[in-house]
Amino acid sequence: MTLTVEKLDVYMQFKGDLDGRTRSAPGASRQALSDDEWYLIDDLLMQLGNVQAGHASAGFIARLEARLQSVTADEATRDALRALARRTI
C-alpha cells in the first residue's frame, strides 16, 4: 500500500467521509483509493495531529516518520498529509 498525492486528492474530494464516498462515488474512485488506504490516511492524520498539537514523545514522532517513509510515495505526499493534518486539528 503506497499513498500518493493523487490518492489524497480522492480522500479530499469526499472530505474524509468514507461512507459518503461509498454511497455516491463512481467505481473509479474506489479503485483509485481502497478502503484500507482510506483507513490508513485517517490513522496517519490522527497521529500527525497529535504530533502537531504537541502530544507526542520523541519516540512516537520517530516511529511515525519511519511509517510515513514506508507508506508514502514521496516527500510531496508526506507534505500533503502534514498540511491536511494541520487543517483538521
3-state DSSP assignment of residue 35: helix
Burial of 23 (0-12, 13-18, 19+ CB in 10 A): exposed
Domain tally, the chain: 1
pLDDT digits (tens, 9 = 90+) for 45-87: 999 999 999 999 999 999 999 999 999 999 999 999 999 999 8
pTM exceeds 0.85: yes
Q: Quote the domain boundaries for residue 78.
A: 5-88
Q: How many angstroms separate the Cα of 65 from the Cα of each of 14, 25, 42, 47, 70? A: 26, 32, 16, 10, 9
